[in-house]
Amino acid sequence: MRKIIAILSATITLLSMLPLVTPTTNNMNSSMASVSVMGTCDVTASDVNFGTLLPGASSSLDTTLHQINGNTVTTSLAISGTAWTGGIGMPVSQTTWATNTTFTPLSTTPAELAVPLDSVTPMAVHLTLAVPAHQAAVAYTQTITFDVQC
C-alpha cells in the first residue's frame, strides 16, 4: 500500500506545480480600409489620307475619335502635330482642324478640343490641308497627335 500512496502523492504534487492558466479576454480591433480607383482612358483615331493634290489645292476630311477603356472619368483632349516632312517640307500650320465650324491652324503646341469625349459617341475632328502653290511634287507625311488626359 505504500507504493500506491507514493505514486498518488507524486502525481498530485506534479499537478500542483503547473502554473494556473487564466482565460484570456478576446480584444477586437478594427481598422479602416481605403482605396483610390484610378480612371482609365485612351483614344483611337482613324487614319488621315488627304490623297493626291496639286500645288495650290486643298482637301478636307474628317477623322473619327473613339474613347476606349471605358468612360470612368472626365477626359480632356488636345491636338497637336509635326511639320510635314518630305521634299522641302511644309509647315505644321498648313493643316487646320475644327470640332465645329471654326478652323484652327494645327500647331506643335497642344491645343485643347473643347468638345467632351465619351465612350458612347464618337467625335469627328474636321481636318483640312492647303498645299502651297510653290510646293514640290513629292509625297509628304505629318504626325497628328491626339492626347487624352484623365
55-72 pLDDT, tens per residue?
999 999 888 887 765 555
Is 141 within the bounds of a domain? yes
Q: Return the sign of the alpha-carbon dihedral for residues 52, 64, 76, 58.
A: positive
Is 36 within the bounds of a domain? no
Is 7 within the bounds of a domain? no
C-alpha–C-alpha distance, residues 90 and 78, integer Å = 22
Is 79 within the bounds of a domain? yes
CA R_g for the chain: 38
At residue 25, the pLDDT reads 66
94-145 pLDDT, tens per residue?
999 998 889 999 999 999 887 666 667 778 889 999 999 999 999 999 999 9
At residue 2, the pLDDT reads 40
Is 116 within the bounds of a domain? yes
The tally of domains found in the chain comes to 1
What CATH number corresponds to the domain at position 127?
Answer: 2.60.40
Residues 6+ apart with CB under 8 A from 149: 41, 75, 76, 77, 78
32-59 pLDDT, tens per residue?
776 766 666 777 888 889 999 999 999 9
Q: Which domain holds residue 95?
A: 42-149
Is 23 within the bounds of a domain? no
Is 104 within the bounds of a domain? yes
Name the pTM for this structure: 0.69
Mind spelling out the 3-state secondary structure of 37-64? CCCCCEEEECCCCCCCCCCCCEEEEEEE
Name the pairing type of β-strands 95-98 and 123-130. Answer: antiparallel
Higher pLDDT, 41 or 86: 86
Residue type, 70: G
DSSP string, 83-117: -BBSTT-B-GGGEEEESSS--EE--SS-EEE-S--
CA 93 distance to own-chain centroid = 28
Is 3 within the bounds of a domain? no
At residue 146, the pLDDT reads 87
Higher pLDDT, 42 or 83: 83
At residue 14, the pLDDT reads 46
